[in-house]
Chains A and B, each alone.
Chain A
């Protein structure tokens, strides 16, 4: 079974704080993704990575950065959290043979005060 884990289920941070969201997958997947989910908007892609140290912007990268130092770990960084980044964040990974079929972690619900 594919296992994608995220470091926290719930986080509360203050405006201006630097926030790290961690994602780990145990299936040796090359591709990893970060999405945010907001009511009425579905999931929107923030960044994805197709290899260690490789990254590409998704549809809404502003205000975020990412880090992929090891294959199994993909971190999402909010350099200076703002209230409009309050959201559910979902990490996903996929097999290289079927990069479009993504497997998701449980999500981190972030509240920025």
Chain B
């Protein structure tokens, strides 16, 4: 079964706190991609990152960092020193294997609220 689980439905933090959004995935494929998207109140999903299954190196982009661990099938997203503008719904997604390379399987999303 191909599945993405975001167990945290909603997280509320105070500005400047660090916050980690969890993502656990299931797939039998050895080749796959993982993604994070941000959906601000305007509604448009904004692409944040793509990671392929052969690259377990962690990535940092400014205040954002991603921790990919194949051993635990997790692809967690950390925002350092959160800001009010980070308030959004964040989706983790899986693109499983070569045969279904068009498909994205989304988690149910985590709503992040950053309070001033």
Contact = CB atoms under 8 A, between A and B. Distances in A.
Interface stretch (B59-67, B76-84, B104-112): B104-112
Contacts of B70: none
Interface residues of B, number: 24
B71 interface: no
Top-5 shortest CB links A-B: A100-B95, A42-B106, A104-B45, A107-B43, A43-B106
B101 A101 contact: no
A31 B47 contact: no
A45 B47 CA distance: 17
B35 A99 contact: no
B102 A100 contact: yes
Nearest to B92: A42
Contacts of B16: none
13 contacts: A9-B43, A40-B9, A42-B6, A42-B91, A42-B107, A56-B102, A92-B45, A99-B101, A99-B102, A100-B35, A101-B50, A104-B46, A106-B44
A3 to B, nearest CB: 11
A103 B46 CA distance: 7
